[in-house]
Structure 1
Amino acid sequence: MAKAEVFPWLAECRVHLCELHRTQRLPHALIVHGAQGIGKANFATAFAHYLLCQSPQGDQPCGSCKACELNNVDGHPDLYLLEPDDIGKPIKVDQIRQLTDFICSTAQQGGYRVVIINPADAMNVAAANALLKMLEEPGKDTVLMLITDRLGQVMPTIKSRCQRVECPLPSEQVATDFVAQALSLDADEAQRLLRINNGAPMATLNYSESDQAEWRSQLVKGLADVLKQRRTVVEVAQAWQKADLELMLGWLYSMLVDISRAKATENEALKQEDAHNMLVAVSRKTNPAKVFELASLVQEERKSLILRQNTNKQMLLERILLAWSAIVR
């Protein structure tokens, strides 16, 4: 379970929910949504701890009651986290059925029962339909929090039964200060990493602490190699087989946005600094129609990955890279 923490840019969301709770207007189902990598899971966990606390102090759990002690060791019996069995896999109907026993039981600590479903968009159709019944009649003092980066992928009938909690991106200054302090970086480097990760602080920390930087480097090099015909489309596609393709396509889409920006404004101050020279060169040789066509293809392929359709990685990458190679011809 994510560490309970409410980051500064989500503080107003916390105040809003705590006020709903104090005035007895808190709905039984919330859908916590916003950009990937901004701390939504941390936020939901922190609010769950607040609801379960037996003696909250203002908008904060007391930290010393039995409920807080249990939460501190991820052992509270009235807090249920529902996630896919494996990363990238769907939440299945059997998992929702197992949740039924928890929903129908009495709270062991005599207060709230809280369910966190993360990510809500991972539920397959059968699982989502099974959850609908719980959302309609969840029982007394029960709160379900559904977390998603992709609100559009959540079934409309699920969304209609939840109150939305929109989590904003922080300002660039707030995000830069946060990342610089967390990673002991100067402001320029923190800003550079944030721009690669679309301004999302937690995604930036994950980027720095994982192998994503290596894959990012391979993406930039592969795209350049295809343009300069140093490697074939097939060779580059083969080299990317083990990559997180959704992540790679997201980066490519951001690069296409930069190309469009440079084309429209003739401004070479691009956000994707690690690919600056290549993107400027492409912007000078291409036309808007080709950029928009490739951007549309990238989004279509990303959608197929998000919907977990049976996608042939090699063929997907070859389609993208062939279109990329044609963008300057």
Structure 2
Amino acid sequence: MQNIWYPWLNLTYKNIITNYQNKKLHHTILIESYNIQNTYKIIWAVIRWIFCNKKNGKKSCGKCTGCILIKTKNHPDFYILHSKNTNQIFEINKIRNIIKIIKNTAQQSHDKILWIPNYTSLTIFSINALLKIIEEPPKNTFFFIGNILYNKIHCTFKSRCVFYQIFTPNENIGLSWLKENTTIKKKNCLIALRINNYDPELAKNFIQKKNWIERIHFYEDITDAINKNNFLMLLPKLNTTDVLNKIYWIILLLWDSLKLKTNIFTYFINTDQIYLIQNISKKYSYITLNNILYSWIQCRYQLITIDNINYELLILQQLLKWQILKKR
């Protein structure tokens, strides 16, 4: 388990710890985040703190017997429910075995904890099995469940939980974190944040890896295609394994051009591509831009949702649509 911590997780972490200290912590906690890794970090930190024998305020010491046992995942009062096997009977049996054990008195700690890293790994049968214990939980027993934001949750199960939701941090917090953890210019950090929907960790990976350079080269190819009015030049550039990324970059570019068309100058995403954005905005009417933007969005959706689709033909059709568009 990585120890990398993010400042936008502090509020949720402190809230859970405070409730525990005040003996007000609900027995079943479901933490939802835009990134499931965030739920791992918070739950793991809370579990370490609860089992720590030498707590320092809201921090665990990391050195006591409890901390060492948790670190090695050998604490007798800590259970992790992994449900990777698709065999539903096996999952139910595994849950029933854990439930049977967890009903016993804690062995080394005052508390017992069951951690379910990802709610989506549960079947309806395993959910029903869990409901029997979370409806009447044993004393000093806590259940922590991680989930992706907006994933559908079983209604009865949901009613038995207390929710904590972690959203992407605001732009200033994201920029501040990137400034502390990279050597990238603020302008480029802002672009990376907006491209990655304000997820700082994704932005950091994006800007430090080849995607950033590929994006710049791809926009140069688009500039060349517009100048020559030959969009079929882009076909080999899109006939790659990262086609979804490149279509996403096209969508963002067209979206910026549409915003410029309507005199919306704030929150441009591709602020390093103003010349290209201006060129596209001048070249096409609002209706044409809107239509081609929608067409690319639909194209990407089809590539994601339709199995065995002929993506080369689909992309060719998209480029031909762009090719025959009339100027304003």
The question of a shared fold, defined as TM-score above 0.5 by the shorter chain, is answered with: yes
Please name the residue that 1:202 is paired with.
201
Residue 50 of structure 2 is aligned to residue 51 of structure 1: yes
Any conservation in 1 of the 2:99–2:133 contact (CA below 8 Å)? Answer: no
- TM-score, normalising length: structure 1: 0.73
Q: Distance in 1 between matches of 2:207 and 2:92?
A: 38
Displacement of 1:182 after TM fit?
0.8
Larger Rg: 2
Match of 2:236 in 1: 235
Give the direction of change, closer, same or farther, for the CA distance of 1:309–1:128 in structure 2 (3 Å limit): farther
C-alpha RMSD of the superposition: 4.0
Letter in 2 for 1:258: D
Shift of 1:17: 1.3
8 Å CA contact retained: 1:233, 1:318: no
Runs of 4+ in 1 over 6 A off after TM superposition: none
Provide the C-alpha distance between the structure 1 equivalents of 2:303 and 2:129, rounded to a whole number of angstroms.
29
For residues 253 and 93 of structure 2, the distance between their equivalents in structure 1, rounded to whole angstroms, comes to: 43
Deviation of 1:129 after TM superposition, in Å, equals 4.9
Secondary structure in structure 2 of the residue aligned to 1:105: helix
Indicate how the Cα distance of structure 1 residues 171 and 52 shifts in structure 2: closer, same or farther if over 3 A, else same: same
Cα distance per residue 1:96-138 (max 9 Å; x no partner): 44751444433664432231424x4x54xx7255334314524
Counterparts of 1:105 and 1:136, CA distance in 2: 14
For 2:190 and 2:159, the matched residues in 1 are separated by 37
Aligned partner of 2:277 among 263, 276, 279: 279
The one-letter amino acid of 1:65's match is: C
Q: Deviations over 1:287-310 (max 9, x none)?
A: 2575277348627854984xx763
> Counterparts in 2 of 1:1-329, with a 5 A limit?
1=1, 3-36=2-35, 39-73=38-72, 76=75, 78-80=78-80, 82=82, 93=88, 96-97=91-92, 100=95, 101-106=97-102, 109-110=108-109, 111-118=111-118, 120=119, 122-123=120-121, 127-138=123-134, 139-140=137-138, 141-148=141-148, 150-151=149-150, 153-157=151-155, 159-217=158-216, 220=219, 223-224=222-223, 227=226, 228-229=229-230, 231=232, 234-239=235-240, 242-243=241-242, 245=244, 250-267=248-265, 270-284=268-282, 285-288=284-287, 290-291=289-290, 294-295=293-294, 298=297, 301-302=300-301, 305=304, 310=307, 312=309, 314=311, 318=315, 321-322=318-319, 325=322, 329=326
Segments of structure 2 that go 5 or more residues without pairing to the other structure are: none
Query: C-alpha separation between the residues in 1 aligned to 2:113 and 2:289?
Result: 52
Residues 1:261 and 1:48: Cα distance change in structure 2 (over 3 Å) = farther
- Cα distance in 1 for residues equivalent to 2:288 and 2:26: 46
CA, structure 1 residues 235+129, in 2 after alignment: closer, same or farther (shift >3 Å)? farther
In 1: Cα distance, 2:161 partner to 2:31 partner = 9
Output one character per residue of 1:134-163: Cα deviation in whole Å (capped at 9) or x when no partner: 145244313122131x41x33453544433
Which is further off, 315-324 or 6-15? 315-324
Distance in structure 2 (CA, Å) of the matches to 1:53 and 1:6: 18
The residue matched to 2:262 in structure 1 has which SS? helix
Letter aligned with residue 318 of structure 1? I
Identity %: 17
Normalising by structure 2, we get a TM-score of: 0.73
Structure 1 pair 144/233, CA: closer, same or farther in 2 (3 Å)? same
Deviation at 1:80, TM superposition (A): 2.0
Aligned residues: 312
Query: In structure 2, what is the Cα distance between the partners aligned to 1:21 and 1:318?
Result: 54
